Amino acid sequence: MKHIKSLLIAGLILMGLNVSAQNQTDMRLNEYLVENTNDFQDDFGQQNAWFELFNTSYGTVNIGGCYLSNDINNLQKYIIPKGDVLTAIKPRQHVLFWADEQPFRGTFHVNFTLAESDTIYFVSSDGRTIIDRIAVRKDIEPNVSVGRSQDGVGSNDGKGEGWQIMPNTSPSTNNAGVDAKSKSSIMAEQDPYGVLIAITAMSVVFLALIILYFVFKFTGRLAIRNQQTRSDIATEGKIETVKAEENTGEAIAAISTALYLYAVDNEAHDEESFQITMRHTDRSYSPWSSKIYTLRQAPQVKKN
Amino acid sequence: MSNLVQFWEYTGFANCNFQYLLMICIGLIFIYLAIKKDWEPMLLVPIGFGIIIGNIPLFPGLSVGVYEEGSVLNILYQGVRQGWYPPLIFLGIGAMTDFSALISNPKLLLIGAAAQFGIFGAYAIALLLGFTPAEAGAIGIIGGADGPTAIFLSSRLAPDLMGAIAVSAYSYMALVPVIQPPIMRLLTTEKERLIRMKTPRAVSPTEKKIFPIVGFLLTAFIVPSGIPLLGMLFFGNLIKESGVTRRLAETARGPLIDVITILIGITVGCSTQADKFLQWSSIKIFILGFLSFVIATTAGVAFVKFFNLFLKEGNKINPLIGNAGVSAVPDAARISNNVGLEYDRTNYLLMHAMGPNVAGVIGSAVAAGILLGFLA
């Protein structure tokens, strides 16, 4: 039994480790631009093709050690350097890579271009698992990007479900997705007087507590029935109906006080734990703590 | 001589102005009310002293102020700012709350739900006063009469208003004995105040053990955004009722909640620095906080009267326990009892009022979760 427990705990820990290692799977290719003649510039003042990754999760994901590629036969074409603090992508944030074939320019410059690419692959740090891929469209006009209509939403199998030609390029920022406006500002437009939210929220509060009401009404009935059955068994079938006298509030209060005082005085509990607690004795000497009785007898050395 | 001048410029006297003195006076009033009037001393003493600490005029850049990154007070304040003190308080509340009254008479849960009207009433009025929906949600939660929940929600929805919201919530919680009784008397008839409720049945230990598990699962599945508060509340109750984790329960309802109460009180007090606190919006928040308490109490009492229309004679609920639907535990329940005793010296409503009172804790946590889901 002990072994099974240990295995179970070890399994759960391993599952936990597995989950944390898979945070990279929350990353998505989010937008790309193939021909950049008059769009975003990099730190070197150059206009090159770019593509964007988006962290769909609500935790920071470090993509250091992951790979980017445009070749299915060489998924490890570009390794995103480890140890760069900028590769830790904050929740729901974007990171931009320049496809300029000039990796010596920094972490975010890959060693391939989009003009020569049919598909972009984002590959896990194991170098094998493709986390996301997107087929690159070449039939797009210069300075027009292709992206997900909502950040991170859509397929990751390269078929382009959820992708569209973007009305405006949006490198390193939202693709007009759900995060573009705060919930509060959406609510201000939809429900300026707070009536809808009040009705909805009160309905939910009532719903939650009504469900609890029904559940505990039901369990209460079960408990009463169970109690009745036990009582019947205790009387061995000889059920005597005793008409209880009308209890007054004072009587109940007096009984409760008496029981409480009894419990306090005797340190009684609602439910006995059937455990004995051995407390340290205040006396300095006791046969239980005496070294004389607990130590082995000292060997006697006889001197002749 | 120049050293003395420089020293003088560093002192609080040189940097003091009327606003700081006003805030220090408010802090002193809090301490006075706590010590002399015994109004929520556990909260008002730390908050009051915190207000004094936070309003000592400082020479900026010493890294000692609550808003200066890396200062001791700032580090302690992160529990408020990031919202992790409130769930720990809820853990302690769960470990000290006996839900028997609620389990034995589950229809009292609905009173706890009705009192949440205070939150949404204040939300609507706050919108009319020009607050954004997120700010209005954070202000409205004052009506839940639950300080930790107010801090938790405002830290997420309106961090800039958190100081005013927290102080307002705790102040009105302390003022529950003043605010609620007149409303209760106004809304009830002599006959209603004398209603005697059935003695609650004894609740079995098994039911008590089931309650936190089922209660959490049901509420959390409906409002997942309330998990931090609901999870800790029901977990605290489970360690209390399980019977095998007595040490954990004792720690949660004793030393842990005491430590967090000290930290939350002192840091919330510190956060009321005059330059950030003394603004027109703070005054509006105090007015809205008062209104939310009035609406919550009114809704609770009115709901019981309405509910009684559908209940048989003998099963009717005394509307004086309607006020307890706000989650100021156990003060609101105590007020039900005291007002009830004014009209019938033998009609003890405390145990009955504890039902809606603890239901109010659950209800306000659920409401906070909903607001968080809608507005965060």
- Taking an 8 Å cut-off on Cβ atoms, the answer to whether A208 and B219 are in contact is yes
Shortest distance between the Cα of B208 and any Cα of chain A, in A, equals 10
Domain holding B279, by residue range, is: 71-375
- Taking an 8 Å cut-off on Cβ atoms, the answer to whether A227 and B204 are in contact is yes
Is pLDDT at B296 greater than 90 in this prediction? yes
Mean pLDDT to the nearest integer, A292-296: 53
Distance, CA of A60 to CA of A212 (rounded, Å): 37
- Give yes or no for A223 touching B (CB within 8 A): yes
Domain tally, chain B: 1
Mean pLDDT to the nearest integer, B95-107: 89
Which residue in B has a C-alpha nearest to residue A188's C-alpha? B133
Which residue in B has a C-alpha nearest to residue A208's C-alpha? B219
Mean pLDDT to the nearest integer, A32-48: 88
Distance, CA of B81 to CA of B117 (rounded, Å): 27
Q: Taking CA A177 as the corner, what is the angle to CA A174 and CA A178, rounded to the nearest 5 degrees?
A: 120
Q: Which of A102, A107, A134 is nearest to A118 (CA)?
A: A134
Distance, CA of B93 to CA of A224 (rounded, Å): 28
Q: What is the pLDDT of residue A255?
A: 80
Is pLDDT at A300 greater than 80 in this prediction? no
- Give yes or no for B124 touching A (CB within 8 A): yes
Mean pLDDT to the nearest integer, A297-301: 58
With contacts defined as CB-CB under 8 Å, which chain A residues touch B371? Answer: 201
- Give yes or no for B205 touching A (CB within 8 A): yes
pTM for the whole structure = 0.75
Q: Within a domain: residue B358?
A: yes
- Give yes or no for B254 touching A (CB within 8 A): no
- Give yes or no for B213 touching A (CB within 8 A): no
- Give yes or no for A276 touching B (CB within 8 A): no
Shortest distance between the Cα of B224 and any Cα of chain A, in A, equals 12
- Give yes or no for A247 touching B (CB within 8 A): yes
Distance, CA of A69 to CA of A73 (rounded, Å): 9
- Give yes or no for A273 touching B (CB within 8 A): yes
- Give yes or no for A92 touching B (CB within 8 A): no
Query: Residues of chain A with pLDDT > 70: what percent?
Result: 72
> For the ranges A37-51, A290-304, B252-266, which has the lowest average pLDDT?
A290-304
* Assigned token pair, A148: 């997900």
Distance, CA of B240 to CA of A193 (rounded, Å): 43
Mean pLDDT to the nearest integer, A2-30: 60
Q: Which of A138, A134, A104 is nearest to A122 (CA)?
A: A134
Strand-strand pairing, A130-135 and A49-55: unpaired
> For the ranges A103-112, B164-173, B287-296, which has the lowest average pLDDT?
B164-173
Q: Which of A141, A59, A48, A56 is nearest to A97 (CA)?
A: A48
Per-residue pLDDT tens digits for A174-223: 886 545 677 788 888 888 888 888 898 889 889 988 998 898 888 888 88
Nearest CB to B132; choose among A184, A226, A271 = A184
- Taking an 8 Å cut-off on Cβ atoms, the answer to whether A197 and B103 are in contact is no
Is pLDDT at A4 greater than 60 in this prediction? no
Neighbours of A25 (CB within 10 A): 17
Q: What is the pLDDT of residue A289?
A: 54
Q: How many CB pairs under 8 A join A and B?
A: 137
Greatest mean pLDDT among A248-252, B139-143, B168-172 lies in B139-143
Query: Residues of chain A with pLDDT > 90: what percent?
Result: 20
Q: What is the pLDDT of residue B92?
A: 94
Give the residues across from A120 on adjacent strands.
A134
The mean pLDDT value of chain B amounts to 90
The DSSP secondary-structure symbol of A158 reads B
On whether ipTM exceeds 0.90, the answer is no
Q: Which of B116, B88, B140 is nearest to B359 (CA)?
A: B116
Is pLDDT at A20 greater than 50 in this prediction? no
Per-residue pLDDT tens digits for A209-265: 899 889 888 888 888 888 778 777 766 555 455 455 555 677 777 887 887 777 666
> For the ranges A212-216, A251-255, B93-97, B135-139, which has the lowest average pLDDT?
A251-255
The secondary structure of A17-68, three-state, reads HHHHHHHHHHEEEEEEECCCCCCCCCCCCCCCEEEEEEECCCCCEECCCCEE
With contacts defined as CB-CB under 8 Å, which chain A residues touch B205? Answer: 270-271
Nearest CB to A213; choose among B109, B127, B370 = B109
- Taking an 8 Å cut-off on Cβ atoms, the answer to whether B116 and A216 are in contact is no
- Give yes or no for A244 touching B (CB within 8 A): no
What residue ranges in B63-110 does DSSP mark as E strands? Answer: none
Q: What is the pLDDT of residue A18?
A: 43
Query: Residues of chain B with pLDDT > 70: what percent?
Result: 100
Higher pLDDT, residue B249 or B329: B249
Mutate to test the interface with A, among B125, B153, B207, B357 (most CBs of A within 10 A): B207
Nearest CB to A188; choose among B132, B203, B347 = B132
CB–CB of B148/B85 below 8 Å?
yes
- Taking an 8 Å cut-off on Cβ atoms, the answer to whether B204 and A182 are in contact is no
Which residue in B has a C-alpha nearest to residue A201's C-alpha? B370
Q: What is the pLDDT of residue B307?
A: 92
Q: Per-domain residue ranges for chain A? A: 19-179, 181-222
Q: Which of A165, A37, A42 is nearest to A110 (CA)?
A: A42
User: SS3 of A134, please?
Assistant: strand
With contacts defined as CB-CB under 8 Å, which chain A residues touch B136? Answer: 194
CB–CB of B141/B371 below 8 Å?
yes
Per-residue pLDDT tens digits for A59-82: 899 999 999 999 899 999 999 998
Q: What is the pLDDT of residue A24?
A: 85
Q: What is the pLDDT of residue A271?
A: 55
Q: How far apart are the first and last CA of chain B?
A: 55
CA distances to A51, A101, A109, B27, B74 from A104, rounded to whole Å, are 18, 9, 7, 61, 42
**A119-152: b (≥16 Cβ within 10 Å) or e:** ebbbbbbeeeebbbbbebeeebeeebbbbbebbb
Q: What is the pLDDT of residue B81?
A: 87
Nearest CB to A184; choose among B116, B119, B134 = B134
With contacts defined as CB-CB under 8 Å, which chain A residues touch B245? Answer: none
Per-residue pLDDT tens digits for B301-343: 999 999 999 988 888 999 999 999 888 878 889 899 999 999 9
CB–CB of B286/B122 below 8 Å?
no
